[in-house]
Chain A
Amino acid sequence: MRTLAARNRPHSRIQTGMTIVNTAEIPLLRVPLELKAHEMARQLAAVQSTVSKGKRVYLNALAVYAVHSYLKWLQIETDLNFSDSFNPVKNAISNIADLVIPDIGSLECRPVLPGETAILLPEEVIQNRIGYVGVQFYDRLDSVQLLGFAPSFDSSNPPQQLAVAELMPIDTLIEQITRLEEAISFLETDDPVAVQVRSQIEARSTSNIVAQLEWIYRTREDYEWRYAGGEVLAGSAAGGEFTRESADRADTDLQDLAEALLEKLAGIWRDVA
């Protein structure tokens, strides 16, 4: 059953290099940018120190706003006010374009200007992101196009940029959000595994743990799930190699729980895909 789950993992195909997505062949969704978006972007840019910083902030804000509009169409709630990209001070000290999806996580929405073929990934946008959306700009700023999506990386060895040609179609973003949503709802049920996991993670953020488990499901072989998942439940980071030594340290009970949980989630996620 787990072999089947692994075979159906949609993202893993990309990572093993079997499928190269050519976004140029797929029609892209266009998102109109209303005056309100420009007004918000202008206010954020107006308080920055230089024109070039102002421009960075303006374009980041438009990219975030566009993804917010798109997700709103699909009835996925987002919160601009809680997003650092709409905070003038955070913008002054870092190059960020995050969009908060309440209870799910943050999505990074990076502008791609005409002629650019890669998305810059500043260090400040590597951690705490469920993924990256490339947003294509043109000279006319009345609309943008959604280029594609990349899910989160291993934060211990992140790339400095993402090639536009390597992005996956934007509907994989929906798949990713839906997966995280369904995993979080599962953890709220009376299923014995869910109840046990809740008592284990206590006050820690469910969305953060779910994001780490999803990353394991997506990038690890299934025989690694119990060790990697056990470490997540135990409270250590999911990044890095899972050595025999660290595996030995993790509690066997936790590994059993992690394995049971990941099998449940794999079942749910298989249905989503």
Chain B
Amino acid sequence: MKCKLIISLVILAVPLFSTTLLAQQVTTKELPYLVRSVEAMGMGGAYYGKSDSKYAVFYNPAGITRIKESSVDIIPLTVGLNTNAINNVTTIIGSFLGGNTATDGVASLINVLMRKHTSFGPITFFPAYASNRFTFGFFSSTDVSLIAYNQVVPEVALRIKSDNGFSFGMANTFLKDDALSIGISFKALARANSKLTYTAPALANAINEGTWLDDILSGLVGNGIFSDGLGFGFLASVGAMYNLPILEPVRPRVALSINDVGFTLLGSSVDPVIPTVNVSLAFSPHYRDIVDTDIVIDVVDILFQNKDDTSFFKRFNIGAEVRFINTFIVRVGLHQGYPTVGAGLTFKFFKLNYAFYSEELGAYVGQLKDSRHALELVFRI
């Protein structure tokens, strides 16, 4: 009988939670990005003093003047995922394909995902033209993350962020020996966010009823262009790089960029675009025309415009890139205090870049590390 009393207390509570989506989402504290470069991630994310690619429009537009060859990237695809993703997704798919019912699948999903952040991203498609005076392109970059938490009342949080738009940047050099580069870039941005938190029964229900896709889509475009999950913006960035007239063999330079200032119209659940001021110190020693190097030290968002995050070391990156005969590339770095490595192959019509890096998801460096792989494949003319 005593059991019945205990049970009755719980029974009273349970019918209330059959298909509940929680209103408040638990989120990690990853610094926000628009579009990330795999080259940059390989060298610790320290790229504001380099920016010698089409990605200059997202880092430092002044870097456009450092682009060595004009090219058109016609099939440029980046795929990233974290180290948990492969195991977790394999287990989940295996559970469903193995003939398990949806409810078994939910149990498997919760167990597999519990406290293990699973992320896919950046998944980027960025066809663009780039020369050492201007660049333009279309970009589409999506990040997906999933985590289960709370061993007492299990919940699963799903976040999708997709940035799509058009970018244009131009830059020029000034002063003697082209010591000063100044660039500017513009971006027309459409951002879609879907943030869902499922309780365990709500997730089971969504899978059983097949409504999970509707949940995601309604979060993104539930009310058309006025959806809470959609946002638009017109953003501008300006940047400068100055070659210091000292230590000539290592060619030091300083860089400054003011990024993503402009007009935004964002739905209430869309992550804001935060303007940032970024500074960089870089060196580019080279050795007998065989080996070229870039060493970059960055502090991003130096004015702490992102007020939700007060950590200095999450903003501090160091990286180095070594190029052998401009074809074989090795990159190393420290991103938010975590080591990164990268490698690349560059040929006339083909480019391949890989990066392994870790992103801090916690409030301070060292609290919650998320290790990730990213691969970029580019066919170009």
Q: Is chain B a partner of chain A in the same complex?
A: no
Contact residues of A with B, CB < 8 Å? Answer: none
Contact residues of B with A, CB < 8 Å? Answer: none
